[in-house]
Structure 1
Amino acid sequence: MISFKNRLFLHLGINLTKNFCTKAARNKVKCDLSSKKTLGQPTQYTHPHLIGENEVTPLIKKEEYQNRRQKLVESISEYALKCNAPSKSHMIIIPSANKQFMSDKIPYIFRQNSDFLYLTGCQEPNTCVVITTSKSPSGHRTTLFTRDKDSHAELWDGPRTHPEDAPDFFGVDQSLPISELPNFINSFRKSSSVVNLWYDLESNVSTETSNIVRDYLKECGNKHFESPRNFIHKLRLYKSTAEIALMQKSCDIASKAIAETMEYSRPGIGENQLFAKVDYECRARGAEFLAYPPVVAGGSRATIIHYINNNQLVYGNEMVLMDAGCEYHGYASDITRTWPVNGKFTNCQKEIYQIVLEVQKELINLCSKLPTLDMLFECMCLLLGRKLQEIGLVGVQPSDSYIMKAAYQLCPHHVSHYLGMDVHDTSSISRNIKIEPGMVITIEPGIYISEKSKIPKDYHGIGVRIEDDILITVNGPVVLSRRCPKEIDDIEAIASRGAKN
């Protein structure tokens, strides 16, 4: 009878000869066994429908994460050289998010720190990555600190990735338990007389890690300390092929979900029902959760820019303004649509909607000229103002300054932001730089006429916003959210189907 051990070797395809215990064979066994372990996040073994060969997270391979870390080290080293930093030794510390609790042992849904996820692909809480260099950027070393082994915790919360499994899966140089982080930091300091420390104390993603860094700074009096946040954001600003594919999928899911919600809507429906519908449709198509608390604003509540109470009913001739997006394997979509709940725009609603739609299309076309986001905002104000003048809702004055100020009163928010792993992505990047191929932005003009407005009462309570997600390419802008209907005829046709039910 073949022993269990030999059957295992046969299953792994290892030749059972007298030489099967050679070093190469033993390494193959070790590698094959490791690939079939259950780790603290999806792998190709546990989730073959999500994770492909050599991928750490869906569509993103181990090598891409390694390249990101290499680029970060190179950009930081180059900056330090220009600034005449006293040392070529760098220590970059990026913590994961920690698990947060709503009460006692009841946790909130966990969402990873985007910068940490971008550099590692690790989706587990209470972890940390430390990247160290001594002489040159090419000689950097990545150490991933994983949660300590705890059989009791794993019984309740599921498996963790242990240090012996992390290097092969994540493509890091070594892994240690998180409890070793203070000793590791102090040991590196002792091995290098002067160290440039990179850590974002302001964001305070992890209180525990921040306290360790503060103790380190206090003990050694290290004055060579900066945040790596802006360097990471500059990398995140430009999306790779894999990231673009993930963002396209995120937009496809949200687009279909919003279209389904349009069709589901009808007079007398609750905003909470529309919220639940779009949430369900996104999750049913593979999204982990909504990317942010959605705006589901019926009637005059659409004039409240960040209305998220979503607890009123929508009646008769009112419109619904829905601002919603989903998160798909770490990448967000952000789409806004406005539609009549009974399937038919009133004349005033249609007039305002048509203006916003025309302005949005002009701004999207303008992206081919690679303006700044602030330039797009100024163009939005001017275009909205002129079109509102044409229908008599803004006073007739030739001054562009007057027109733009009048439009800003009716659209008091920016027209664009960067989009990616976060909804308002790479927040440290100025909106006053020219957009470039590889970036993803939103275009979201709106008009909000409150009941206190001096505009004729027929328009009071009308709030319209149309938002799409735009990939900038060398061949012009690509609308990632193009599958979400926004033409008047299409919207009326979809919404009227629900109103008839």
Structure 2
Amino acid sequence: MILKRLLNGVRLNKEPQTLKVCKRLFGQPVYDTHPHVMRKDHVTPGISKSEYKQRRSHLWNNICKVSHKNSALAVISAYPKSYMAHDVPYPFRQNSDFLYLCGFQEPDSILVMSNLFNSNEHNKEDFKTIIFVPKRDKLKELWDGPRTGSERAAEVTGCDESFDVDYFDKFLQKILQSDQTFDLWYDNSSPSHRSHHSKLSNTLLKSCKVKNVQPTKTSVQNLRLIKSEAEIDLMKIACDIGSKSLEKVMRYSKPKIDESHLYAKMDFECRIHGAERLAYPPVVAGGSRANIIHYINNNQLVDNGDMVLMDAGCEYFGYCSDITRTWPVNGVYSTTQKSLYEALLEVQMSCISLCHANYLTLNQIFLVMLTLLGRQLQKLGIISASISEDKLSEISRTFCPHHVSHYLGMDVHDVDEMSRNIQLRPGMIVTIEPGIYIPSDRLDVPKDWRGVGIRIEDDILITKSGPLNLTEKCPKYLSHIENIINTY
């Protein structure tokens, strides 16, 4: 009721009661329209209202620890639509921090969390969650599809109240007209929505009512770093789909195949097995093109005798897989390819074995990887056996210039503000992806090794009992891969 008084004078767009039973009322899957993927108590497939509420409560507890005696107002914006050309939108993907907190999938929305509306101003830990959503509009819905609307958004998400996003300006003015001061929690340095940021810049960010401005991103990502059981279940499905799909791509391979056909095969298999989309533009690099770390042109033919490096994954209801395999399109590794692949696989398996809780950090595993890789390169005669241990890592970095790992979750390179110097903890999911890249023009390497690029990547769940490879179903042992390709 306090929020209602605060917004006194704001007219909401109420619709006839009959619309509430219309299946086209919602802008995202709900149980009434998608019973094959949704449960009644879920906001998004696999994630319940109670879990979203718990996430918001955890964030608010962290806010209270910092704001302490001050009141606080947190504002998290959804992404806007983006366009590739006039009236041609890119497929929409929600801001992951916003999605993590409320599960609402429509663009231009705003999530607000605050204790400014409490009847007891001394109780700072009690807070309300308000979501501002796109207004229902028959003409726009005719072109773009249904919207949930403010009438049902609170019910769908489990937020306390919902309003049309058009009234956010009025909401800000009412806040400023009150006599309360507060901390503003908002990502001022990296706004996710230009229009919403402009409104905040011209109101709250200029106001003397705001005591401090604190970023929300780090606090939200700190929560996202550790996956819940529900999130782990979704990640397992994403990894299973990615693994099975990549195996089918291997079977589809043949000499002179177009990289774009392998891309299309991966996309098709992931979607046909339930994924919403690929998690990122895949790398499909034949031959020496595998030495371009993020090669995404994917428009060349893969010659007989060449390997193809594919780095691909899928997104399953907001959670991603990320897998890399390297295989010969003719189904047989050459002697050189086999030696290099087995050396890298040994390094990768050793790094996976280090992924224990409360043991190492990702940066420490990276340093181990460089040493192990250097020793393998010495055994193969690619670099001098006389190179000292203290110089070995430096030389190895010229063969593997990228890190061995990153966090994985709602985004492929997940929680980008989280340090890789954090000790691994149960519930984290990370990649382990060493590579060896020897461009054709690398003259300090014996000629037989030049022009070869290999990467092997798996997705690892950190558990109390040790590392669990979520992508182990994707073939990566030489005999298995050769058998798959040659028996298709």
Give the structure-2-normalised TM-score. Answer: 0.92
User: Which digits, 9 at most, give the CA deviation of each residue in 1:117-139, with x for residues without a partner?
Assistant: 00000011111111011444541
| Structure 1 residue 477 displacement after superposition | 0.6
**Partners of 2:124 and 2:287 in 1: CA distance:** 57
| Structure 1 residue 116 displacement after superposition | 0.5
> Helix, strand or coil for the counterpart of 1:245?
helix
Corresponding residue to 2:481 among 481, 487, 491 = 491
Partner in structure 1 of residue 434 of structure 2: 445
Partner in structure 2 of residue 345 of structure 1: 333
Partner in structure 1 of residue 449 of structure 2: 459
Partner in structure 1 of residue 409 of structure 2: 420
Given that residues 226 and 428 in structure 2 are in contact (C-alpha distance below 8 angstroms), is that contact kept between their aligned partners in structure 1?
yes
Q: How is 1:347-426 mapped onto 2 (pairs within 5 angstroms)?
A: 347-368=335-356, 370-397=359-386, 399-426=388-415
> Helix, strand or coil for the counterpart of 1:287?
coil
Q: Which runs of 5+ in 2 are unaligned?
A: 1-16, 117-121
Residues 1:248 and 2:266 are matched in the alignment = no
| Structure 1 residue 399 displacement after superposition | 2.5
Q: How is 1:465-480 mapped onto 2 (pairs within 5 angstroms)?
A: 465-480=455-470
The one-letter amino acid of 1:163's match is S
| Structure 1 residue 36 displacement after superposition | 6.1
**Partners of 1:326 and 1:216 in 2: CA distance:** 40
Q: CA RMSD in A?
A: 1.7
Partner in structure 1 of residue 221 of structure 2: 233
The one-letter amino acid of 1:255's match is S
Partner in structure 2 of residue 99 of structure 1: 81
Summarize the Cα distance change of 1:89–1:31 in structure 2 as closer, same or farther, 3 Å threshold.
farther
**Partners of 2:179 and 2:413 in 1: CA distance:** 38
Summarize the Cα distance change of 1:468–1:218 in structure 2 as closer, same or farther, 3 Å threshold.
closer
Corresponding residue to 2:419 among 401, 425, 430 = 430
> Helix, strand or coil for the counterpart of 2:170?
helix
Partner in structure 2 of residue 164 of structure 1: 151
Given that residues 95 and 128 in structure 1 are in contact (C-alpha distance below 8 angstroms), is that contact kept between their aligned partners in structure 2?
yes
Corresponding residue to 1:282 among 267, 270, 275 = 270
> Helix, strand or coil for the counterpart of 2:410?
coil
**Partners of 1:109 and 1:469 in 2: CA distance:** 26
> Helix, strand or coil for the counterpart of 1:224?
strand
The one-letter amino acid of 1:378's match is L
> Helix, strand or coil for the counterpart of 2:221?
helix
> Helix, strand or coil for the counterpart of 1:367?
coil
> Helix, strand or coil for the counterpart of 1:437?
coil
> Helix, strand or coil for the counterpart of 2:487?
helix
User: Which digits, 9 at most, give the CA deviation of each residue in 1:461-481, with x for residues without a partner?
Assistant: 110000000000001010011
User: Which digits, 9 at most, give the CA deviation of each residue in 1:267-301, with x for residues without a partner?
Assistant: 00000000100011011111111111100000000
Residues 1:152 and 2:105 are matched in the alignment = no
Q: Which has the larger radius of gyration?
A: 1
**Partners of 2:407 and 2:192 in 1: CA distance:** 21
**Partners of 1:428 and 1:68 in 2: CA distance:** 18
Partner in structure 1 of residue 104 of structure 2: 122
Corresponding residue to 1:330 among 318, 329, 334 = 318
Q: Which runs of 5+ in 1 are unaligned?
A: 1-29, 82-86
| Structure 1 residue 201 displacement after superposition | 2.4
Corresponding residue to 2:181 among 181, 194, 209 = 194
> Helix, strand or coil for the counterpart of 1:342?
coil
**Partners of 1:220 and 1:391 in 2: CA distance:** 65
> Helix, strand or coil for the counterpart of 2:180?
coil
Partner in structure 2 of residue 3 of structure 1: none
Partner in structure 2 of residue 13 of structure 1: none
**Partners of 2:106 and 2:216 in 1: CA distance:** 21
**Partners of 1:467 and 1:71 in 2: CA distance:** 32
Q: How is 1:45-56 mapped onto 2 (pairs within 5 angstroms)?
A: 45-56=32-43
User: Which digits, 9 at most, give the CA deviation of each residue in 1:49-96, with x for residues without a partner?
Assistant: 111120010010001000100100101111223xxxxx5211100111
Given that residues 70 and 137 in structure 1 are in contact (C-alpha distance below 8 angstroms), is that contact kept between their aligned partners in structure 2?
no
Give the structure-1-normalised TM-score. Answer: 0.90
The one-letter amino acid of 1:290's match is L
Summarize the Cα distance change of 1:192–1:372 in structure 2 as closer, same or farther, 3 Å threshold.
farther
**Partners of 2:102 and 2:124 in 1: CA distance:** 18
| Structure 1 residue 392 displacement after superposition | 1.4
**Partners of 1:159 and 1:311 in 2: CA distance:** 37
Residues 1:42 and 2:26 are matched in the alignment = no
Residues 1:216 and 2:203 are matched in the alignment = yes
**Partners of 2:22 and 2:155 in 1: CA distance:** 9
**Partners of 1:373 and 1:182 in 2: CA distance:** 44
**Partners of 1:108 and 1:32 in 2: CA distance:** 30
Q: How is 1:75-86 mapped onto 2 (pairs within 5 angstroms)?
A: 75-81=62-68
Given that residues 44 and 53 in structure 1 are in contact (C-alpha distance below 8 angstroms), is that contact kept between their aligned partners in structure 2?
yes
| Structure 1 residue 156 displacement after superposition | 1.6
User: Which digits, 9 at most, give the CA deviation of each residue in 1:413-444, with x for residues without a partner?
Assistant: 00000000000000110001101000000000
| Structure 1 residue 394 displacement after superposition | 1.6
| Structure 1 residue 154 displacement after superposition | 1.2
The one-letter amino acid of 1:42's match is P
Summarize the Cα distance change of 1:266–1:137 in structure 2 as closer, same or farther, 3 Å threshold.
farther
Summarize the Cα distance change of 1:472–1:178 in structure 2 as closer, same or farther, 3 Å threshold.
same
Partner in structure 2 of residue 11 of structure 1: none
| Structure 1 residue 487 displacement after superposition | 0.5
Equivalent pairs: percent with the same residue? 47
Summarize the Cα distance change of 1:137–1:312 in structure 2 as closer, same or farther, 3 Å threshold.
farther
